[in-house]
Each structure stands twice: as C-alpha cells, then as structure tokens.
C-alpha cells in the first residue's frame, strides 16, 4: 500500500515539475506574464500538503534543473533563493494544518530573509548592488512623473525629497511584497486543495477576511516601541517608523479592501463589476490611506459582525 502511495506521489511530483517548468519558461520569455511568477509556489505547496515536503523538494529541484538546462543557471538560482525557503516553510506548516496566519507570517519572515540574502549574494558574487540599481530605476520614474506634473503647472516636491523617502522605505517595501506573495499563494493553494477535495484549514472568502483580533493591539505596541527607539543613540528611529507605517498600512489596507468587498457584495452587484470596482480602488493611490483607515476601524469594531478567527 505504501509502495503504491509513494509511486503515486512520485508521479504527481514529476508531473508538477514538468508543468511548472513549462510555465516558468513561458513567464521568462513572455514579459507580460512575468508577474504571474509570484504564484510559482502554488503547485509545490499543493504537493507538500498532499504528500509531504520530500516530494515537494524533489519536484522543486527537478523544475530548477529543467529551467536551468533551457535558460542557463541564473533563473534556477533566482527561483531557489527567492522561492525555495518560503515554499519549504509554508509547505511544512500546511502539511501540519497549522493556523493560516502562522503559515503566512512564517512564510513572510522567511521570504524577507531570502530577499536580503539574495541581495547580499548578488553584491558579493556579481559585484552588483541591487539597492543601487533600484535607486537608479526610481530616479528615472520620479523624473518622468515630475516632468509630467510640471507640464500641468503643478509644483511637486523636489526629486531628492521623493527619492530619499523611497530609499528609506525599501526594507518595508520588501516586507509588504513578501506578505502579499505569501497571502496570494496561500489563498490560491487553499482554492486548489478545495477543488481537489482535500481537507484544509483555509482562509475565509476574501469579503469575510479579517486579521486576528489582536492585530490592532500588536501594531500599537510595535509603534510605541519603534517610537521609543528615538531615545537610543545609533538607531534611525524615523527610518524604522516609516517602514512600520508602510507595513501596517498595507496590512490594514487588505482588511479595508475586504470590508469594501463585503458591503459591495451585499448590493448584489455582478461579481465581474465588483472586481472592477475593487481594482479601481486599488489603483487609485489617493484612496489607499482611506481604505487602510477603514480596515483599521473594522479591525477595532468588527463592523461586519464576523466571528473572530481566534
């Protein structure tokens, strides 16, 4: 019986590796699909949940080898360094049927560490400092935006002020990116497992999504501790505070979007139109702060009257 089960798992792992390799190569050579690369962990997380991490690791390595054979060593190294540790830790806790927020939280932590390690390795091996390259790219984008505003006779803040702010929040941006990637991968994995009939402790439907009840208290304590660092010499308190604001703004923004989705759903608007409305809200940057505040209010007062997850 175990032999048959192992054989089935091995066949499934091989199929996952083949299909994933085809998708990765497609993402590499078709630029507009490259954003979908962030969902690469999904098939491996499904595999880990169904059969355990050893089959997931086998499938992940085979995928990297196939991609490397067809594209060179750079892409498989990127895949292993950026997605490998995150997929491994999330897969392990998914198999253990851990609380969703534990899976997402640990995945985010490991993903952030992987990004910083990768940045340091690229600097050490290739002599390319990724942060410097990112700053150059930001300069180009900022210059373009400032020129557009000046053509409209709008006096923007100086280029240096904008650039300084973006440089300060780069660590927070990495955290937000990692959180978003883990969040999306968990939701997609839960959806696939549900379709496959696997029992899994999944996150609720997005319109019913809310963070644990202690998120507000936790964020308040972190803000107080961060603010207190200004009295400790050698610590850049303003930098820490800016990054904390970015991270927690994104956290409450997610709940704010779920809050808005919940009430739009009550109006019985067609699902496709509801998605368009939410997409417009996400794109319109002036609304981001308002949505985050709505998420904070919902977290404090449970405006949707949802049962607490914990």
pLDDT tens sequence across 3-21: 666 777 788 888 888 888 8
pLDDT level of residue 158 (50, 70, 90 thresholds): low
* Predicted model pTM: 0.76
Q: Report whether pLDDT(196) > 80.
A: no
Residue 72, sorted as left (phi over 0), alpha (psi -120 to 50) or beta, turns out to be left
Quote the pLDDT of residue 89: 93
Q: Which range, 131-140, 247-256, 268-277, has the best average confidence (pLDDT)?
A: 247-256
Quote the pLDDT of residue 1: 46
CB atoms within 10 A of CB 17: 23
Q: Structure tokens of 238?
A: 């303003």
**Which residues have C-beta within 8 Å of that of residue 260, sequence separation ≥ 6?**
278, 281, 291, 294
Task: Decide which of 27 and 138 is more confident.
Answer: 27
Nearest-CA neighbor of 245 among 184, 306, 165?
165
Per-residue burial over 23-49, b if 16 or more Cβ lie within 10 Å, else e, is bbeebeeeeeeeeebbebbbbbbbbbb
Stretch 65-74: mean pLDDT: 83
| Cβ-contact 73, 126 below 8 angstroms | no
Whole-angstrom distance, CA of residue 204 vs CA of residue 99: 12
Whole-angstrom distance, CA of residue 180 vs CA of residue 183: 5
Nearest-CA neighbor of 252 among 223, 293, 222?
293
Q: Structure tokens of 60?
A: 């992940």
Return the residue matching tokens 């993402």: 27
Stretch 139-166: mean pLDDT: 64
What sign results for the dihedral spanned by CA atoms 269, 272, 277, 282? positive
pLDDT level of residue 166 (50, 70, 90 thresholds): low
Whole-angstrom distance, CA of residue 25 vs CA of residue 21: 6
Task: Decide which of 219 and 108 is more confident.
Answer: 108
| Cβ-contact 115, 82 below 8 angstroms | yes
| Cβ-contact 176, 249 below 8 angstroms | no
Q: What is the mean pLDDT of the chain?
A: 77
Helix (H, G, I), strand (E, B) or coil at 205: coil
Task: Decide which of 202 and 18 is more confident.
Answer: 18
Nearest-CA neighbor of 111 among 129, 87, 135?
87
Quote the pLDDT of residue 70: 82
| Cβ-contact 26, 33 below 8 angstroms | yes
| Cβ-contact 68, 75 below 8 angstroms | yes
Measured in whole angstroms, the distance separating CA 195 from the mean position of its chain's CA atoms is: 23
Stretch 154-180: mean pLDDT: 71
DSSP code, position 232 = S
Q: Report whether pLDDT(177) > 70.
A: yes
Nearest-CA neighbor of 182 among 273, 245, 234, 115?
115
Per-residue burial over 111-139, b if 16 or more Cβ lie within 10 Å, else e, is bbebbeebbeebeeeeeeebeeeeeeeee
Q: Structure tokens of 168?
A: 């300060």
Q: Structure tokens of 151?
A: 């053509």
């Amino acid at each position: 019986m175990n032999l048959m089960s192992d054989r089935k798992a091995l066949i499934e792992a091989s199929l996952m590796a083949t299909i994933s390799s085809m998708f990765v190569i497609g993402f590499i050579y078709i630029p507009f699909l490259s954003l979908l690369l962030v969902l690469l962990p999904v098939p491996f997380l499904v595999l880990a949940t169904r059969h355990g991490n050893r089959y997931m690791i086998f499938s992940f390595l085979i995928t990297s080898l196939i991609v490397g054979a067809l594209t060179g060593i750079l892409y498989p190294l990127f895949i292993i360094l950026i997605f490998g540790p995150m997929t491994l830790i999330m897969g392990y806790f998914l198999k253990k049927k851990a609380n969703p927020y534990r899976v997402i939280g640990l995945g985010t932590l490991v993903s952030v560490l992987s990004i910083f390690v990768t940045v340091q390795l690229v600097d050490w091996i290739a002599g390319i400092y990724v942060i410097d390259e990112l700053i150059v790219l930001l300069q180009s984008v900022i210059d373009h935006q400032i020129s557009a505003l000046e053509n409209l006779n709008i006096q923007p803040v100086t280029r240096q002020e904008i650039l300084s702010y973006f440089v300060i929040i780069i660590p927070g941006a990495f955290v937000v990116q990692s959180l978003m990637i883990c969040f999306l991968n968990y939701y997609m994995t839960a959806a696939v497992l549900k379709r496959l009939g696997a029992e899994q402790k999944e996150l609720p439907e997005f319109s019913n999504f809310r963070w644990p009840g202690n998120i507000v208290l936790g964020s308040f304590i972190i803000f107080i501790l961060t603010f207190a660092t200004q009295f400790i010499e050698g610590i850049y308190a303003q930098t820490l505070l800016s990054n904390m604001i970015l991270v927690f703004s994104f956290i409450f923004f997610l709940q704010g979007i779920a809050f808005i989705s919940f009430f739009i759903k009550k109006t019985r608007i067609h699902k496709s139109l509801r998605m368009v409305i939410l997409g417009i809200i996400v794109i319109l940057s002036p609304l981001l702060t308002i949505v985050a505040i709505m998420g904070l209010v919902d977290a404090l007062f449970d405006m949707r009257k949802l049962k607490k997850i914990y």
